[in-house]
Structures are given as C-alpha cells and as structure tokens.
Structure 1
C-alpha cells in the first residue's frame, strides 16, 4: 500500500512539475533569471490576446456586465414557442423551463461560490505566504486580462449548451463545446466521445476531488485554532451537512442562492471597515505590493519568479478564468443572448479578485510583519485577524472559512454534473457515485495535512486549462461574433 501511495504521489508531483515547474529561464539584469512555467506562458499571452480581440471588454463594457447580471431570466424565442406549444397540449414540461434552468445571475452565484470561496481565503494566504506582497499585483493582472478569457469560454458554453434530461434545464461546458468543434472539423459525423473532451472532463473531476481535500483540511485547521475542536469532529460535521445537500436533486442552487450573497457581503463589509480604520497605512501597503511585484525586494520563496508564479497560480485558482470550470455553470443559464452570460462571468472575475481577494490581502498586509513572521496558511490569516479584532477575529475567520468552503464544495459538485454526464451518460448512479467520492475526499482531507493536496488541485486545474485554452483560440471567432451581435442589438435599441 505504501508503494502504491508513493507512486501516486510521485505521479502527481511529476505532472505538477510539468505544468507549474520552471520550464524556461529568462535572463535578468544582474545575473538572475526569471523562471516561467508552462501555464504562465499559456495564460498570460492568452489573456492579452482575448483582451485585445474583445477590444478591452473588461473596461469598455463594464456597465453592460452589471446590466446583464441584474437582468431577469429570459428564454430564447424558440424555447418560448416550444414551451407554449407543450402547455397548450397539456403536457408537463420536462426540460429547460424557468423552474429548472437558471438565470444568468444564478449562474454567477454558482461560479462565485467557488471563486469567492476557497480562493479568496486559502488561495490568497498561500500566494502571500509563498510569494510575498507582490503576488497580489500578479493576481490583479491575472484577473484583469482573465476577464476576457472568462467571457469567451462562458459564451461558447452558452452557444453549445444542451438540455439536461436528469436535472432539467441545460448543461454544457468545455467537454461539450470541444466535442462539437472536433465533430464539425471531422465532417459532422456524430461521435460518442472525443479524446480531448474526455481528458478535460477527467481533469475536472480530479481537480475537484483535490479541492475537496483542501476545503476540509483548511476548515479543520481553522476550527482547531479558534475553538480547539479536534479535526475529526469538524470534518464529520462538514461531511454530514454537505451530504444532506448534495445528495438531494435541486438543493444545491437553492442553498447557494441564500448563502453566497450573505457570506460574501458580510465578509466584504467587515474587511472594508478594517481597511478604512487603517487608512493611513494604505499607501505603504500599495508601495509594498508594487515594489515586491517586480522583485525590487527579496521576498520569501525567492525573488521575482516566486512572486509572479504564486500570484498567477493562485490568481487562476481563485478566479478560474481559462480553466473551464465556470462555463460548466454558465451553460445552465436561460438567456436570450449568449454574450450576456459571458459578460456576467467576466464580472465574476472582477468580484472575486479585484474586490474580495484584495480585501483578504490588505487585512494580511496591514498586520505588522513581526506578528506573522514564520507563519503560513490559515495560521497567518488568523494571526492577522487576531491583531485587528482580537479573539473575535479568529472566531470570525474560522466561521467565514467554513461558510466559504462549504459553498465551494457545493459549487464544484454543480460543475461536476456535466462532466460526469459526458463521461458516464445520463444516469443517477454515476452522478451519485461521484458525489460520494467527493464526500470521501472531503473526509480524508480533514484528518491529515497532506502537502500533495494542493498539488492535486493544481494538477487538475492545470490540465483543465491546458485542454481548454488551446481550443478557445480557434473557437473564439464564434464568441466574438456573438459579442458583435450583442453590441449591434444594443445600438439598435438605443
């Protein structure tokens, strides 16, 4: 058993090294080098490319992002006609009706559950712990250029969505639009599987199992620090509550609709108040972020390369742009134009990184370095909250982490629905089996601090990004055409 475990860990670390390890070294003035990983080389240029192709969409169409988010659910004309026909015939509507499909805002809630979840606490803590204050700048850069990537992949998910016979409404995501693209390129002949789609779907399931372990591990650690509760008890409670929700057919979205706005709003307001109370230190914090972002000062984990790598890596883990996760939720939206869902998901990247992640980072960086020296992970964040709010801060962050983690787990299992269906067909057995597997991973992660847990999540999200991002380039013309169509329709209405 030890040999098997060792072999699995070795494989995970090898793939992690290939994706996130130093692939090339760029010489720097003074004799140093800038190490770049494969995914940094892929993500940054891709984000820049899509930002240019969408004509700087994150800035130019920001008001439209807000407008699309607040718009009520509306079915395409064809779907409304089908619905009316079924109603007139007295039939029960089984597929994409308003009761089962989601609004664009609801898909934002689902994707925000994972973005404004683990990434905003654990991901930011990991980035600053390993890469210093400068990592925050690169998280911002990743979010800014990633918004355009998020638009493209979410719009494609809408264009290629299909009806979901199990849950009702719609489903889709990269596995589906990759499949359609390969079919079209090979003459339109129907296929059961496409290799690239299979690889993406498997990578997603691996990633979400890894994240399940990170969730319980972080929650158990924070509760032990705050309440001195043994990890076993915290983990059991987390698993039981999660099982009660995810094993019920439609409970996930209902819970997230209530949980996400409340928890994100409370956390955001509290951190803004703390930042306002320390406003005199804000210029110093910005100075530290920008100076360390370009390696002007040595930081823990060693210079510019570590700062850039940790900022981009945790930025991706937090906002998910380009990884193909959020499109699994975006496909479920009921809308009259696919570009609207793309705009909503682009806004989600802003909400996650520019707002919530920055709040977490500032809380940590406003804490005297002498109080956090040598601390990593949740110990770092809880020490910062203890400095600002005393014992209440430690307890508050433990509860918030629990809520954020819980919403993340629910969100990733919503994502998993379409991937499981693609791989194993439309049946309740496979859907339930994956949920049980994720619950087992949730339990295991809470009982032991495995460093490989983060690696497993990073391997999964890295592979997903690898399989997704390259297909976005040839397929992006359809998303860009949808954007032009949307803008033309807006001009006509004006």
Structure 2
C-alpha cells in the first residue's frame, strides 16, 4: 500500500521553511545563550551540586497525610529517565552522525552540559508553581509558571496548545515511525501493518483505560535500558582498542580545520543540537510537566533530579549508541545514506550477528511505545489546563490514534523534520519564560543552600524569599492540606 506520500508536498515545503528560519543561527544561538546564562549565573549548578543530586536521589519518599507514600526522588528519576530514553537515543543519534558526522556526538555532549543547568531552572520553576489536582496530587509545567509566575495566561494557553500538538501528534507519529522502520528492517513487515498494530495498542490504553499495559511498560523500560547499556558495555570491552581512536575521531570532526572549510562543522553542530534537544528535552518544557508531579519538600530537589536525568540520557545512553554506530565500518554519511533506526540495527548486526536488528527492534518497541503513552498524558494534562471537556478529550484521543498510524507510514525525513519544527517552537516559548523567571530560581536555590548550611532538612516556605508568591499555596508545612480536603469532598 502506497502511503509514503500521505503528507502533501506543500506541507513538507512549509515545514522545511520553518526549520530553516528557526534552526539557523537563531535557535542554536538561543540554546547556547540560555545554557551559558543558566550555568554561569548559577555558578554551574550542574557540577557544583553534582554530589547533592545523588544524595537527593537516595532520599525516602515523603509520607502523605493519608498514610501513603509520595513519589520518591529515585522513582521520579527512573520515570523521567524512562520517558527520555527512546527514539532520540537510538534512532536520533544515528541520524545525527550520518548527517553531521562523528563530530555531532561532541555537540550532543555540549548541549547536555549546558542543558543540565537549563533543566534545573525549568523543573525548579515547575515545582514552585505547581497546583493540586482533583485527586489530591500535583500537576504543573510551563503553562502554569507562565500563568502564575508571569501573569500571562494567554501565553500558558499558547504553550499548552503547542505541547498538546507536539507530543500528542507529532512526537507520537515519530515514535511509531521508528518502530515501523525497525520491524520492517528486522522482519520485513510492511509499515502500514505495524502502524495498525501500534494504533490499536495505543487505543486500548487511552480509550479502554488498560492501565496495566502502561504499568508493565513502566517496569520493563528501565530493565531494557539496563540490558541495552550492558550489551553496549560488553561490546566496548571486546573492542577496547578502538576507544581512543573513536574519541579522537569525534573531536577531530567537531573542530577540524578541513571540516570547517567544508561546512561539516556546521552540520555537526546543527545535528548534534537537534538530536540532543529531542533526546534530553532540556529547555523544551516537557520534563517540567513530570517534575511538577513529584512530592518533595523543596523545589530544588526536583530541579537536581531532572538535571541528573539530562546527564544520564545524553552522556550515558546516547553515547552508548554512538559507540556502536562509530564502530560500524560500513557506515556511510550524507543525506542520501541510510538513516535512523536502520543504521543502529545494521551496526548492532555487525557486532552481535543477525540477532542485532531483532534486539534493537524489541528495545525500540518498548522504549517508543512507552513514550507514546507518556506523550499522550502530557497532551491530556495540558488540554485539561486549557479547559476540561469530555468531548474535546475524546476527539484528542481519536486524533492521537490516527496520528500514530500516519506516523508509521510517513517517510523518515518528513517525520524528523516535523518533530524538529515543533520542538523548536516549544523551546523558544519556554526559554523566554524561564529567562524571565530565573530570579525566582536564584532565590529558591539560595534558600535551599542556607538550610543545608544550617544542617536542617530543606523545607520550602514561600515567605522565605523576596519574590511575590502570594498566588502559590502548595508549600510549607501545610503543603498537603488540600489533599485531605480533596478527599473529604
């Protein structure tokens, strides 16, 4: 069945023009500027409090008034890591290297280095301005700190619409596209068949409320991540003699004079930044939605956890994939070369034999499917921010299922180009808000540091800082008061 041209040419051209406008010097410069500003102004919080990240990670979950445990820092970390680890780490890295050369890996590291500080700021803000939901838990994210922090509900609505479209439709289409290509490569199954299967599996959960599927993937994904990293580690040990030459190649292609004159450095930077942003999501405004849900005693704690998540995602998982690909001796570069998940499958085949493609197909199915479910909940949460409507939610669910199928049969280049455009729009909107509210993060961080110096367990009180947080009442000793009230209603 010929679905390759399901997206009209005029729309592809519009997407290309949008990417040229946003992903030129503008967004690359903005990401660097944001990372530099957040890093320098916080005195490189991503390194200064690196040990503190691990200390917070080991803290026990808070006991809620109803006797149940809240989400522990470690569980919050694993949840966010599971949502980050997926298509970007496996297929995205391959695309970055093929289009940008080995030097793209270095620039992925760069965006992770600065992105860790950006993630700290946006997730701390999400915690500060979170609200209690009808279940007595918490929800929040950029839409909430745009409304409550900047007093700009229109901007919050705009971002909520943007993230709903981006994650509910665009990113879910890309996830199913990657799954379909992986199974076509491993088992020679038509992508439209895979698209139907994934669409049905998605519909079962979001329409039927089959939460057990989501729960199972939530447990399996971290295990698969460990298995994937273990396989890569073993391959690295076997090929230890290639490590130094590989690192040299990465740096040579990132800075080489010959490559600079040939324009390859620009391609490496662009592709490294694009795939790095898609993978670790730092500054995009997606992770704060998950960060806001955690029950912690101080906003800084979740900022630290999400900062650590960026390091894990890029420096560990993305680098692991890059190692496999750069060891592949038949790797070809350029726009006409093989791209995406099929590159990773071919590289894994070269290392562990014919089972390599099947192994990657299984891994990406679990990673990408769990991301589809997580993306849906991001979209649903932001739809509820705009207006709670059962009819609108039903239409949204139906469109998600349709987009999962369309994504599976869409051509690879269009799928990635669409994702690039929408995540750029999200990043620009979110970073403007985080810049404007950064002074609050400075004050909240100073409060956290002061309590640590006093040797007490940090508990945030809004009256401890100078910023006007009169519209925020979810902190201090009574931060769970409404939880009890909500249960009695």
TM-score (norm 1): 0.85
Alignment match of 2:377 (pick from 404, 414, 429):
414
Alignment match of 1:63 (pick from 40, 51, 60):
51
Alignment match of 2:246 (pick from 272, 280, 285):
285
Q: Which residue of 2 aligns with 1:16?
A: 19
How big is the shift at 1:10? Answer: 3.6
Q: Does 1:311 align with 2:280?
A: no
How big is the shift at 1:149? Answer: 0.5
Gaps spanning 5+ residues in structure 1: where?
23-36, 88-96, 184-192
1:98-143 CA deviation, whole Å, 9 max, x = no partner? Answer: 57x6443333333323321111011101111110100000000100
- Provide the C-alpha distance between the structure 1 equivalents of 2:77 and 2:202, rounded to a whole number of angstroms: 21
1:230/1:39 CA distance change after superposition, 3 Å: same
- Provide the C-alpha distance between the structure 1 equivalents of 2:56 and 2:206, rounded to a whole number of angstroms: 29
1:441-493 CA deviation, whole Å, 9 max, x = no partner? Answer: 11111123253221221111111111110111221121222222222222222
Which segment is superposed worse, 477-486 or 249-258? 249-258
- Provide the C-alpha distance between the structure 1 equivalents of 2:262 and 2:201, rounded to a whole number of angstroms: 38
1:284/1:107 CA distance change after superposition, 3 Å: same
Q: Does 1:336 align with 2:297?
A: yes
Q: Which residue of 1 aligns with 2:193?
A: 233
1:390/1:194 CA distance change after superposition, 3 Å: same
How big is the shift at 1:3? Answer: 12
1:287/1:4 CA distance change after superposition, 3 Å: closer
Alignment match of 2:162 (pick from 203, 207, 229):
203
Q: Which residue of 1 aligns with 2:475?
A: none
How big is the shift at 1:260? Answer: 2.6
How big is the shift at 1:321? Answer: 0.5
Alignment match of 2:406 (pick from 435, 444, 451):
444
1:357/1:15 CA distance change after superposition, 3 Å: same
1:146/1:371 CA distance change after superposition, 3 Å: closer
Which segment is superposed worse, 136-145 or 227-236? 227-236
| 3-state DSSP of counterpart to 1:73 | coil
Q: Which residue of 1 aligns with 2:142?
A: 174
Conservation of the 8 A alpha-carbon contact between 1:372 and 1:380: no
Q: Which residue of 2 aligns with 1:151?
A: 120
Q: Which residue of 2 aligns with 1:435?
A: 397
Count of residue pairs brought into register by the alignment = 448
How big is the shift at 1:392? Answer: 1.1
1:143-162 CA deviation, whole Å, 9 max, x = no partner? Answer: 01110110000010000001
1:371/1:466 CA distance change after superposition, 3 Å: closer
TM-score (norm 2): 0.86
How big is the shift at 1:319? Answer: 0.6
Alignment match of 2:88 (pick from 94, 105, 119):
119
Q: Which residue of 1 aligns with 2:472?
A: none
How big is the shift at 1:228? Answer: 1.6
Conservation of the 8 A alpha-carbon contact between 2:103 and 2:252: yes
- Provide the C-alpha distance between the structure 1 equivalents of 2:188 and 2:247, rounded to a whole number of angstroms: 35
> 5 Å matches for 1:4-83?
5-20=8-23, 22=24, 37-74=25-62, 83=65
Q: Does 1:460 align with 2:422?
A: yes
- Provide the C-alpha distance between the structure 2 equivalents of 1:444 and 1:57, rounded to a whole number of angstroms: 42
- Provide the C-alpha distance between the structure 1 equivalents of 2:383 and 2:166, rounded to a whole number of angstroms: 13
- Provide the C-alpha distance between the structure 2 equivalents of 1:324 and 1:408, rounded to a whole number of angstroms: 16
Conservation of the 8 A alpha-carbon contact between 1:131 and 1:306: yes
Conservation of the 8 A alpha-carbon contact between 1:326 and 1:415: no
| 3-state DSSP of counterpart to 1:334 | coil
1:11/1:251 CA distance change after superposition, 3 Å: farther
Q: Does 1:220 align with 2:180?
A: yes
Q: Does 1:194 align with 2:153?
A: yes
Conservation of the 8 A alpha-carbon contact between 1:215 and 1:405: yes
> 5 Å matches for 1:359-398?
359-369=320-330, 374-398=337-361
How big is the shift at 1:277? Answer: 0.8
1:279-303 CA deviation, whole Å, 9 max, x = no partner? Answer: 1000010000000011445499941
Conservation of the 8 A alpha-carbon contact between 1:115 and 1:319: yes
Which segment is superposed worse, 468-477 or 322-331? 468-477
- Provide the C-alpha distance between the structure 1 equivalents of 2:424 and 2:174, rounded to a whole number of angstroms: 16
How big is the shift at 1:389? Answer: 0.7
Which segment is superposed worse, 333-342 or 223-232? 223-232
Conservation of the 8 A alpha-carbon contact between 2:214 and 2:370: no
Conservation of the 8 A alpha-carbon contact between 2:164 and 2:378: no
| 3-state DSSP of counterpart to 2:285 | coil
Gaps spanning 5+ residues in structure 2: where?
457-489
- Provide the C-alpha distance between the structure 1 equivalents of 2:451 and 2:27, rounded to a whole number of angstroms: 37
Conservation of the 8 A alpha-carbon contact between 1:259 and 1:407: no
